[in-house]
Amino acid sequence: MGFLTPWFLAGSLAVGLPIWLHLLKKHKTTPQPFSSLMFFERRTQSSIKHRRLRYLVLFALRTALIVLIVLAFAHPYIRRQPAAPARSNEITVLAIDNSLSMRAGQRFEQAKQAAKSMVAGLHPGERAQVLAFGSRVQAMSEVTDEHAPLAAAIDAIEPSDARTSFAELARSVRSIAQSIHLPLRVHLYSDMQATGMPSNFNDLQLNAAVRLEPHAVGRDGAAPPLGNFALENVVAPRRVYDGKKTRVLATVAGFGTQKTTRNVSLLLNGRVIETRPAEVPENGRATVEFFSLEAPYGRNKGEVRLEGADALAADDRFFFSVERADPRRALFVHQADSARGLLYFKAALEASGQAAFEIDPATVEQTANLSPGKYAFVVLSDVGALPPAFENQLRDYVRGGGSVLISLGHMSVGRAKVPVSGDPIEGTRYAGREGEMFQTAAWLDPSHPSILKDARWDDVKFYQAIRTAPVSARVVARLADQTPLVTDQQMGEGHIMVFASTFDNVANDFPLHASFVPFVQQTARYLGRLDTGPASVLVGSFEELRDSKEKGAAVDVVDPRGERALSLDEATKAQNIQFTMAGFYDVRRPNGRNELVAVNADRHESDLTPIPPETLALWQNTASGVAPGGEAAAGERKPLSLWWYAMVLVLALAVAESWLGNRHLSEDKEAAV
C-alpha cells in the first residue's frame, strides 16, 4: 500500500484532541453548602461503570474517526498486478542468436541445448516455431506441435559471421504476431550483447500479443564480461601499380582486457611475410605498421592475423585483397603552343604515389592518326578545331562506354559548340586580376564522384570561364553568377565532363590549391571506370554484379568455402549479391572484370559486454500495450485507490460517534436531575 499525498499524515497529530478531552480534562464541580448528610444512605450507583465503558468506546470512536480522516486525505492506494490477458492458442517462438559473438566459448551450443530442452517441455498440443537471427531473421521451421521437426530445426542452425540486431528480431516478431493473429511467447536465447541494441529504443517496441522471455547464455550474472582482443581494422591499398613495397596499417583493440603485448602477423596468399608486437593498453587500442607488402601481378589474398588464443577467435583475422596491375593509359590532347595544362594535370595524377593512369600527350594535329578506343579516357585541353574524323571517333568512343574530359579556354571561344557533346557556347566571362575582379565556385554537388564531400573551392579564383548552355548535362559545380563550371553528360554508355575553364594557372589559380589534386584524381578514376572501393567490406554488404548492357550474361561467384554462391537462375538474373560470411569471394563477370572481394565481420561483435538488466527489463515492458498516443491499453491496470473506502468508514464512525455521544449527554442530564 502507498499514499498519493503522504504529507497529510501529519494531521494524525490531531489524535491528541480526544485524548485531552477524555483523559486530561476532568469534570470539576463547585462545592455547594448543604445540611447534614446523616439521614442519607451510603450506596454506589451501578451506572458509573457502564458510563465509564461508554466513555472508552466514545474515545475510541473519536480517535479512529480522526485517523481515518487523515488517511482519507493522504489518498491511500494498493498496487494491483496487471490482469493477465487471455492467451488462448499461444504460440511459443524459440529465437536463437547465431551472430559472431555467439562463437565465444560454448555460447552457441548452450543456446541450442536450452532451446531443445524447452521443446522437450512443451505440453501436448502446444505449438512452437524456431527462428535464427543475426542481422536478419530466418524461419527455421513452420508452426507445429510436433517435437521432432522443432528439434531438427534447432540442430540445423549454424553459427554465422553476422552482427546481432535485436531491432530486426523485434520487427520480425511483430510481423509474425500480426500475420497469424495469435499471441506469442518469445524465448530469446542469446548472449545479450549490448552492441546489438539499436540507437533508437523505439525499434524494439513489441505489441501486447508478444511476451518476451530472454535467456542469457554463456555468462554468469555475477561474473565480469569476457575479455576479448580483436583486429579492429586494417588499412591497405586495393590496387598497386608498381613493384615498390606497400604500407599496411593494422589496429588491435581490447575489450574488457588488461594491458598486454600480442604478436601480429602479415600474410599474403597464405604466407607469413612479417610479424610485429603490439602493446595493447587496458581496454585500449594499438596500431602496427608493416612496410613489407610486395604484391605480385594479379589478385592477391592479404591477411593480418592476431597470434594467440582469446575468448573469440573469429575476430583475430582480418582479410583484405590487393591487386597488382599496370597503369592504364589516358590521352591528353592540347594545342601545340599550350602545354601548361598538361604539366599541372599530369602532376596531379602522379601526386598519390600510386598512379593508376599514365598520360599520353598529343597535339591537335597528331590526333588524326590516333584511335581513342585504346585509352581509359581522353582529355581535350582548350582545343580549337579538331580533325572531323577524330571527333567522330570520339563520339563513337563515348557511345560505346568511353569518357571524355573537356576544358574550355580562349581557344574554345571561337567555336559555336562544345567539342563532342555539341552543347552551345554562349560566350565568355572575363575578369581582370585587378581588385576583386574574379569569380568563385558558389555551389558544388557533393554526391558526384569528382567532388569530395569535404572539398572546398571557396578560395579558388576564376578569372575566365566559358559560358555554355547544357541541354541534358548534370551541373556539378556553379560559379557565383550561376555560370555552370563543371557539367557531366551521359551519351550512350559513356560520359562527357566539361570544365568551363582551363587546367593551367592563367584563366584561374585552381592548380595552385589543394583541392585541385583530389579533383583530378577523382575525375580520372570516375571517367576511367576504375573501381575505387575499399580493400575489404563488411558481412552484409552488397556488390553489383552486372550493368544494364550485360543483362542475361552469366556471373560466377565462388564463396569463401569454395562453393558457388549463386544458382544457375541467379547467375543470369541477379543484379547484386550480398556477402554473408567472412573470407574471400571470387566474382567472375562476363566483361572480364574479375574481382577478389575480401569480407570481414563487423567488429561491433567483438565487444562482449552484455545489455544492462534494467535496459533488458525495459524491452520486456514494451509489450505492455501502451498506444503511441499515450493511452493505456485494455490490459493495463491502474493502482486501486482506497479513498472512497476510507470516506465510507469515516461516515459510519461519525454516525456511531454522534449517536453514542448523544446517549452519553442524555444520561448525564438524567443523572443531574
- To 5 degrees, how large is the angle CA 301–CA 304–CA 306? 145
Please determine, for residue 256, whether its predicted confidence score (pLDDT) is greater than 50: yes
Give the cell for residue 132.
535464427
Alpha-carbon distance of 356 to 352, in angstroms, equals 9
- Residue 572 CA to residue 566 CA, distance in Å, equals 9
Rounding to the nearest 10 degrees, give the CA dihedral for residues 113, 118, 121, 127: -130
Could you give the CA distance from residue 518 to residue 512 in angstroms, rounded to a whole number? 12
Contact indicator for 385, 419 with CB cutoff of 8 Å: no
552: Cβ contacts below 8 Å, ≥ 6 apart? 572
Q: What is the mean pLDDT of residues 9-28?
A: 62
Grid coordinates given for 151: 528439434
Q: What is the pLDDT of residues 503-561, one digit of tens each?
A: 988 889 999 998 999 999 999 999 998 866 788 999 999 988 877 666 778 899 999 99
- Checking if the pLDDT of 433 tops 80, the result is no
Q: Which amino acid is at 204?
A: L
Interatomic CA distance for residues 152 and 673, integer angstroms: 99
One-letter amino acid identity for 130? V
Segment 218-223 mean pLDDT: 60
Distance CA 576, CA 592 (A): 17
pLDDT in tens, 96-124: 999 999 999 899 999 999 999 999 999 99
What's the rounded Cα separation, in Å, for the pair 76 and 291? 76
Neighbouring-strand partners of residue 91: 127, 184
Q: Which amino acid is at 353?
A: G
The answer to whether 583 touches 270, Cβ cutoff 8 Å, is no
- CA-based diameter of the chain, in Å? 163
Query: Residue 322: which H helix or E strand, with range?
Result: strand 317-324
Nearest to 105 by CA among 159, 152, 156: 159
| Residue 127 β-bridge partners | 91
The Cα–Cα gap between 102 and 433 comes to: 67
Question: Which pLDDT tens digit goes with each residue over 139-182?
Answer: 999 999 999 999 999 999 999 999 999 999 999 999 999 999 89
- Collapsing DSSP to helix, strand or coil, 99 comes out as coil
* Interstrand relation of 317-324 and 285-293 (parallel, antiparallel or unpaired): unpaired
In single-letter form, the type of residue at position 397 comes to Y
pLDDT of residue 642: 74
Closest by CA to 470, choosing from 407, 422, 428, is 422
**How far apart (Å, rounded) are the C-alpha atoms in residues 151 and 115?**
8
From the list 566, 558, 570, the residue with the least C-alpha distance to 599 is 558
DSSP string, 170-187: HHHHHHHHHHHTS-EEEE
Cβ neighbors of 171 (< 8 A, separation 6 or more) are 203
Here the cell at position 6 is 503522504
**pLDDT value for 2:** 64
Chain segment 43-78, per-residue pLDDT in tens: 655 544 444 445 677 777 777 777 778 777 777 777
Residues 539, 167: Cα–Cα separation, whole Å = 18
Confidence of residue 336 (pLDDT cuts 50, 70, 90): confident
Domains for the chain: give ranges and CATH numbers: 2-33+40-78+642-672 (no CATH), 91-223+613-621 (3.40.50.410), 228-325 (2.60.40.10), 328-527 (3.40.50.880), 537-600 (2.60.40)
> Cβ of 40: how many Cβ atoms within 10 Å?
8
CB of 210 closer than 8 Å to CB of 173: yes
On whether the CB atoms of residues 397 and 367 are closer than 8 A, the answer is no
The DSSP line for 236-262 is --SEE-SSS-EEEEEEEEEES--SEEE
CA distance 543 to 555: 12
Instruction: Identify the three-state secondary structure at position 468.
Output: strand
Do 115 and 97 meet the contact criterion of CB atoms below 8 Å apart?
A: no
| DSSP 3-state of 95 | strand
Q: Which of 561, 550, 619, 560 is nearest to 591 (CA)?
A: 550
Q: Strand, helix or coil at 583?
A: strand
Nearest-angstrom CA–CA distance, 51 and 118: 72
Give 43-83 as a DSSP string.
---THHHHHHHHHHHHHHHHHHHHHHHHHHHT-EEE--PPP
Residues of the chain above pLDDT 70, percent:
83
Give the start-end residues of each E strand in 419-473: 425-430, 441-444, 464-468
- pLDDT single digits (tens) 338-347: 888 999 999 9
Please state the rounded mean pLDDT for residues 180-209. 93
Contacts of residue 34, Cβ cutoff 8 Å, sequence gap at least 6: none
Which whole number is the average pLDDT over 464-485? 90
Please check whether residue 550 is in contact with residue 590, taking contact to mean a CB–CB distance below 8 angstroms: yes
- The lowest-confidence range among 120-134, 210-224, 530-544 is 210-224
C-alpha 273/C-alpha 459 separation (Å) is: 46
Q: Please tell me the predicted confidence (pLDDT) of residue 422.
A: 85
Residue 304 has pLDDT above 50, yes or no: yes
Residue 43's pLDDT is: 63
Residue with cell 493522504: 74
Cα–Cα distance, 644 to 75 (Å, whole number): 9
- The pLDDT assigned to 120 comes to 95
Q: What is the mean pLDDT of residues 469-477?
A: 90
pLDDT on residue 647: 81
Q: What is the mean pLDDT of residues 321-338?
A: 91
* 298 three-class SS: strand
Report, in angstroms and rounded to the nearest whole number, the Rg of the chain calculated over CA atoms. 43
> Parallel, antiparallel, or unpaired for β 357-363 and 328-334?
parallel
Q: Using the structure block, give the residue that is written with the C-alpha cell 583541392.
A: 515
Return the closest-CA partner of residue 357 out of 215, 243, 524: 524
Instruction: Find out whether 210 and 183 touch, Cβ atoms under 8 Å.
Output: yes
Residue closest to 241 by CA, chosen among 326, 127, 116: 326
Per-residue cell: 145? 506441435
pLDDT in tens, 610-661: 999 999 999 998 875 443 334 444 444 567 777 777 788 878 878 777 777 7
Which CA distances in Å does 179 have to 131, 144, 173, 414?
Answer: 16, 16, 10, 70
Look at residue 40 and tell me whether its pLDDT is greater than 80: no
